[in-house]
Structure 1
């Protein structure tokens, strides 16, 4: 009986997650691509033009793979350029197909295409999508059954055109729907992030907690941070550029901009909660607020879930945002201050930590109340807080010029080395197929271009997931064949598999590939009216396995790109971004009465760079740990440094959290001295990374202010600066230590 509530909770969570997924950006993408693919196929069957229907369906899939969210102008330009590439590749590939005399020419052609389109990584994600879709054209050209080149080309391009009409038409009908979905997803990610924080703290509260479990949770937290950053960057690019390019920005667009700005501030409050600080747990225990704190985090999670649902399915928020927790913390703080005054027993550190937690909760409630009032159509007096941001500065301009391409044509460029790896791997696979008279070169080509990535870690991950997904999909297809061969049932499963494939590919590659394998095998079976089902299944498994082996060998042995070589640059950039962020906040802290303070836009820009650099470093570290030939000691030290720099970012955010409240402490000479030393140490760390300098000149003066920092009655500002100062010392010392490792010495400065 005790398991019934757990089962009920799991069932409820499953239904909730499934429902949310059906309204998500990923499922709508899957629906769009499925509709664009299956409509031509259905029309082809209806009018007895199955070959043309298959070609048009393939063209829609190609165009869908090259599509990305964006403004109407950006989408139109991208799809137009993509269509031109698709046309040329389909035509040229058919002229050079290896019938007899064109065997060598076609091999050189696919090798050139592999190199040229792999270089598109230098232009960003949108260009990569178009390049991948372009290479799909060669895959389909190898599989054309109709002998007429113009018939095949017309079929493919009609599918490309149809998808363009569907995609741009849906954008015109609901231009903000994608941004709504991404906003909803971003708030849901914050809810999941809060849940991880809560689990981390609960685990740490246990007396005999397992360190491995804590480390595992912290890795999940960093992984979730990476997803939050990626989501926020995507929203910035789409929402802000939409607002900049629009002749008249709608009230809905303005409301979404305010919600997004509040969302980023909410995230800052969460990361400013220093969960790794042992003093935090101890202070909560000593003040008997442990249960209230965990309940507060749980409320945060639930509030964020309600907001996410409300945005996604267009409903009002009915949940009350209860702020009584603030009164509990305030009362306890006053009691501790009174006790300290009467007994003379110091409670300064506990008081400061409780104040900081209260500031975080208060700011969180403030932002969520603003979002709730906007969603419910009420007047939000505080919404003007976000109206003065210079949103142009938060977007990036991508330049797709040939000079950038030309500048990367050397072995110093990781993208150039990647392009050489891809093209050579394709050539080897082609030669392999010609010599052994293997007919499924297109499958090898497709697998290589999809899993061979610019860095070893990504290639390894995609290769394993591709292999696992193919095996799972093939197994499921075999089971389906054992139960039924009915063409109508198989057709329905095929459509559902297409939908599943293009809904999951972006969020779970292994599951996405499983669905791809199912629909490809079923589609071939239906197309050939039941012929060769087992042989097609074996070809799929065998071809994928061969391509994975080729890709993995080339990633490991041929001009490999090891990300640990980039560590000094990444760490240097991350420290520099944190220094810039700290400098701007501390300037406003010191010059609080000065009229020429740094604007909120500039500070949020600095914060954005810190978050992006942190995300890049975290994702890179996860791949580095999979690289061979790195000592455990080196990985362990890098992990410690990563943790310390991440903690530094949270402490700087903590300083900003308090700095932007109404009750500011007076900045003392001691505060100014600590600020100067923090900047000096961070600058020294950057110089040491770049030039292998041993130490900064004033290192002997570090301990000069330790006596002053041990005094009682530190203000909250001084306390926070002291914590940052101590952490920066640890970072500086760790960088000195890491310089002695051979891996660091051989890396690029």
Structure 2
């Protein structure tokens, strides 16, 4: 229970709760003021505009948020006006649903924020189509919706200017906490009682989440001018802490060993359990750092990590020396743990203003974030059946049209637009996401409906009902972007209580909502299966090519370092980021494929080992790269260069077999004259590492052949 209370407290400081609280205030206030002055309809229309614009207010750079909200406000005014006239005849309304459903779903080609603008406009179409207005009231109604959007924009912009660093702090804190969970999973590999295969599945899944969090932090920190200029203490702190966490993630990932061999050799000694517990303790410290950043609180280390590492060293030294056994691998693990401890200490230093350097991070931050231009060519280039966005837009247009005419034929209840709302918001480009949201929508509606009916039946006090409604609003908007099931569970009782206040019978209302939800889910699911479906297996080839290219580019930098050339920090970190991105993309696609029909899950038993091998490959390449880049450039033995080039040729061969363009990653590099050659002993250790990398590349190539792409 204490853990649950602690997590709830952290949630109150999260970006999701901050967004939910702001949206609740923005939506609730106009309705309350309108009701107080006897203009409830006016207040509700203002609230509707605020709600639609809030969908576009995802965390991100202030400039992007401002442009998205203003664009959405203009689009809402125009489309609300058009819908008020089109609704007067079923044919014109059907035509608008097809046009709006297709056109605004195509906004997915421009990224999540543009897609949110499209969703907001579809929402206003659906909520306006059943609202009869006199000709003279159309412009007033559309103007009020736009005014509500501007009201939300003003409120959001005020908080962004008043608290410019809080979004960055919250998202960075969440990123650090996700990294702590990743490290906690890593500890299980040293625990002899845990299952290695299950551990790899958890690790791959968590790695996708870490990448998503890192991408969110980059988007906020590196695109916000006030932060990237690092002219303030807080700006420098956030940037440097994030750079340190990315390096920490690399160190965690690079710490790979043959865990099965470790368990066979050292499980009887009990030392592996001590190592696992030490890593879990580090994960707890890292989680505490993330919480402190997220809550904008000071943090002071308790100094227990160093003492624990000293005890672990003593335990390793005390192990009996056997002629057939070497403890060198345990000492390597200890060195890596000390390196991780040093990273944690660096993060702790950033809480002391006197230790934050005046210098900037010396990196061009703009190179680490993606820039999505609003170029019409992107729209036109996606108007092809091969485009996932085009197929999705067609499905949305057809499903909305079919749902609209079906509800007119059935004529069940007074809120048939709920069917279209269900269709528009659970139909996603990927079948797996549509299927997942179908299940969550039905479960959430049933559970939330039962709770809402219980509240209205057993709690007669209207004041208590109002408080519960506001809390459900807060839950709805807080979980909107992070947990769809929880959001639906809060939305259904919120809607039931709201309509009850408007004088509607809640039992019949609950029955109607459940019926409309099930009908909408059935239409959305059927459309996603029957109309130009997009299966993840069809996208795997592109993800695999991207991953092989990223591996090749990263390995090419290692070859440059082996030949004695200096590798710039910027080039290395860009190659590392690209490898993170491509690994996460493939892992996420694999997870989505597992939610698709079994007969379409192509090469599942071969793809999972490939992903595990990719994790092993990067761990070993990162270990080698960090060792090379920490030292002054010097040429190593030609045999090492040839070994690395052999691994690169294996990756390149996989690309050629997949009918990709031949990658010019294998380069002829002139020898560097007058460069000191590395010692033979060091070369022997690197030769062992490179031989293992070669073997992993060969195993990946075999798996790639079995996948059949």
TM-score normalized by structure 2?
Answer: 0.91
2:366 to 386, 392, 399: 392
Q: 2:306 maps to what in 1?
A: 323
What are the equivalent positions in structure 2 for 1:566-715 lying under 5 Å apart? 566-591=539-564, 594=565, 597-628=566-597, 630=599, 634-661=603-630, 667-690=636-659, 715=684
Aligned equivalents of 1:168 and 1:47: distance in 2?
27
Do structure 1's residue 564 and structure 2's residue 554 form an aligned pair? no
Contact 1:476 1:518 in 2 (8 A): yes
Shift of 1:366: 2.2
Moved more, 606-615 or 293-302: 293-302
Q: 1:703 maps to what in 2?
A: none
Count of residues paired in the alignment: 688
Contact 1:274 1:280 in 2 (8 A): no
2:140 to 138, 151, 154: 151
Shift of 1:113: 0.3
Contact 2:561 2:629 in 1 (8 A): no
Change (3 A) 1:313 1:631: closer
Do structure 1's residue 183 and structure 2's residue 159 form an aligned pair? no
Shift of 1:512: 0.8
Aligned equivalents of 1:631 and 1:47: distance in 2?
59
Q: What SS does the corresponding residue of 1:608 show, helix, strand or coil?
A: helix
Aligned equivalents of 2:401 and 2:376: distance in 1?
25
Contact 2:562 2:640 in 1 (8 A): no
Deviation digits for residues 546-566 of structure 1 (CA, Å, limit 9, x no counterpart): 111111111111111111011
Q: 2:686 maps to what in 1?
A: 717
2:50 to 60, 66, 69: 60
Shift of 1:633: 8.0
Aligned equivalents of 1:319 and 1:433: distance in 2?
62
Shift of 1:72: 2.8
Change (3 A) 1:717 1:551: same
Aligned equivalents of 2:341 and 2:399: distance in 1?
55
What are the equivalent positions in structure 2 for 1:19-38 lying under 5 Å apart? 19-38=9-28
Q: 2:60 maps to what in 1?
A: 70
Contact 2:76 2:124 in 1 (8 A): yes
Q: 1:553 maps to what in 2?
A: 526
Shift of 1:62: 0.6
Deviation digits for residues 639-677 of structure 1 (CA, Å, limit 9, x no counterpart): 111221222122222223433445999833332222111
What are the equivalent positions in structure 2 for 1:157-556 lying under 5 Å apart? 157-202=146-191, 205-206=192-193, 214-243=196-225, 249-274=231-256, 277-282=259-264, 284-285=266-267, 289-321=271-303, 322-324=305-307, 327=310, 345=324, 347=326, 351=328, 353-379=329-355, 387-438=361-412, 439-528=414-503, 531-556=504-529
Contact 2:473 2:491 in 1 (8 A): yes
Contact 1:472 1:514 in 2 (8 A): yes
Shift of 1:714: 7.5
Q: What SS does the corresponding residue of 2:460 show, helix, strand or coil?
A: coil
Shift of 1:97: 1.2
Contact 1:272 1:650 in 2 (8 A): yes
Q: 2:69 maps to what in 1?
A: 79
Contact 1:584 1:603 in 2 (8 A): yes
Contact 1:89 1:138 in 2 (8 A): yes
Contact 1:452 1:555 in 2 (8 A): yes
Q: What SS does the corresponding residue of 1:241 show, helix, strand or coil?
A: coil
2:81 to 69, 82, 91: 91
Aligned equivalents of 1:559 and 1:231: distance in 2?
32
Aligned equivalents of 1:118 and 1:276: distance in 2?
47
Change (3 A) 1:291 1:671: same
Shift of 1:737: 2.4
Shift of 1:287: 7.4
Q: What SS does the corresponding residue of 2:386 show, helix, strand or coil?
A: coil
Deviation digits for residues 446-471 of structure 1 (CA, Å, limit 9, x no counterpart): 11111111121111111111111111
Q: What SS does the corresponding residue of 1:656 show, helix, strand or coil?
A: helix
Contact 2:567 2:629 in 1 (8 A): no
Q: What SS does the corresponding residue of 1:573 show, helix, strand or coil?
A: helix
Aligned equivalents of 1:255 and 1:240: distance in 2?
13
Deviation digits for residues 202-251 of structure 1 (CA, Å, limit 9, x no counterpart): 2xx02xx6x5xx54443332222111101111111111111378777322
Aligned equivalents of 1:330 and 1:658: distance in 2?
22
Contact 2:190 2:275 in 1 (8 A): no
Shift of 1:505: 2.2
Q: 1:696 maps to what in 2?
A: none
Q: What SS does the corresponding residue of 1:630 show, helix, strand or coil?
A: helix
Aligned equivalents of 1:284 and 1:526: distance in 2?
67
Aligned equivalents of 2:356 and 2:613: distance in 1?
38
Aligned equivalents of 2:171 and 2:683: distance in 1?
43
Do structure 1's residue 130 and structure 2's residue 117 form an aligned pair? yes
Moved more, 238-247 or 602-611: 238-247
Shift of 1:169: 0.2
Aligned equivalents of 2:612 and 2:30: distance in 1?
52
Q: What SS does the corresponding residue of 1:598 show, helix, strand or coil?
A: coil
Q: What SS does the corresponding residue of 1:690 show, helix, strand or coil?
A: coil
TM-score normalized by structure 1?
Answer: 0.86
RMSD: 2.7
Aligned equivalents of 1:16 and 1:219: distance in 2?
27
Shift of 1:727: 0.8
Contact 2:554 2:576 in 1 (8 A): yes
Contact 1:310 1:316 in 2 (8 A): yes
Unaligned runs of 5+ in 2: 663-679
Deviation digits for residues 120-149 of structure 1 (CA, Å, limit 9, x no counterpart): 111011101111111111122134366422
Change (3 A) 1:637 1:568: same
Aligned equivalents of 2:531 and 2:614: distance in 1?
34
